[in-house]
Amino acid sequence: MRERVMLLLAVFFWGWSFVFTKILLDYVTPIELMGLRFIIGLPFLYLVILKKKIKLQFDKKDYLRVLIGGLIIAAHFFIQITGLQFTSATNTGWIISVTPLVLAILAFLFLNEKISRMAIYGIIIATVGIVLLVSKGNLANINWLSSVGDWLVLVSAHTWAVFTVVTRDISRKYNPIAVTFAMFIPATVITVGYMLFNSDWSVFINLPAEPMIALTMLGVFCLVVAHWFWQEGVAKHGAAKAGFFLYLEPIATTVLAVPYLGETFGAFAALGGFLVLVGVYVASVQSKK
């Protein structure tokens, strides 16, 4: 029961992260948001590593892969946060949920993993859902094709899938929390280095209460606690069972973004989101079989 609650909280923190990001983007740039999140989150993540007595030792031959993973994750966060400047947190939560399908395609192309007929059906269903989400059902008006934010968020689903493929072996070799910490270091160096020369730090010091709370949630709970709880849940229930909790992530985003940010979630958006989840479910059930 304890681990299930931890999985549930991890997924809700990840879903809410898009809402907190939207709040902060009214005060800081995407790269500044990344840097501040890492500055707050990494010390707490290190405390988790100390508490769980996790080793932070890597073979020299794995250093390059850690660096590459860190660069990819930095690009991923930057693309996703930039996309959130131009689209809603609600759309982001639902679009990101196609990541497992993107991962299946990349694993088929680059890791020689099989892709089933049902997985293909799932990809088609989810694609229809994405189109409905982005177009809001107005397919006759092609202006929805210029929805930069939605497409950037969709690109970020691909960058996360690339990150997963590239780091698959090293994540199996070492503790995932240790790998996460090590790969966040290059991203932190890049973003903080940029901020040292280009940002007005007095803005960060004088942030109002709302963005400060959002930043704390992003750095501590969405970055550190969520990863910690997720790994605890996976260790207890296995990746397959834990994966079903991810279906709740876009729902978590929606239930907070609609009342708090005043975002809309109409019938076509609901239908599109439903089709996305159906597509992911169809593909995942077949892969288990």
Range of the domain at 251: 2-288
pLDDT in tens, 95-151: 888 887 887 787 777 767 777 788 788 888 888 888 777 776 666 655 655 678 888
Asked if 84 and 218 touch (Cβ cutoff 8 Å), the reply is no
Calpha distance 164→101 (Å, rounded) = 12
Per-residue pLDDT, averaged over 254-283, amounts to 85
Question: Which alpha helices (DSSP H) does the chain contain, by range?
Answer: 2-24, 30-51, 63-84, 89-96, 99-110, 117-135, 148-166, 168-173, 176-198, 201-205, 209-216, 226-237, 239-243, 249-261, 267-288
Which two tokens mark 124? 């088609």
> Across the chain, what does the average pLDDT equal?
85
Q: Give the lowest-confidence range in 75-79, 84-88, 198-202, 261-265.
A: 261-265
Tell me what pLDDT residue 29 has. Answer: 95
Calpha distance 93→127 (Å, rounded) = 15
pLDDT in tens, 9-52: 988 999 999 999 999 999 999 999 999 999 999 999 999 899 88
- Domain count of the fold of the chain: 1
Categorize the per-residue pLDDT at 273 as very low, low, confident or very high, splitting at 50, 70 and 90. Answer: confident
Which two tokens mark 136? 């809001």
Per-residue pLDDT, averaged over 181-200, amounts to 93
pTM score over 0.75 = yes
Which two tokens mark 107? 């694993």
Tell me what pLDDT residue 61 has. Answer: 87
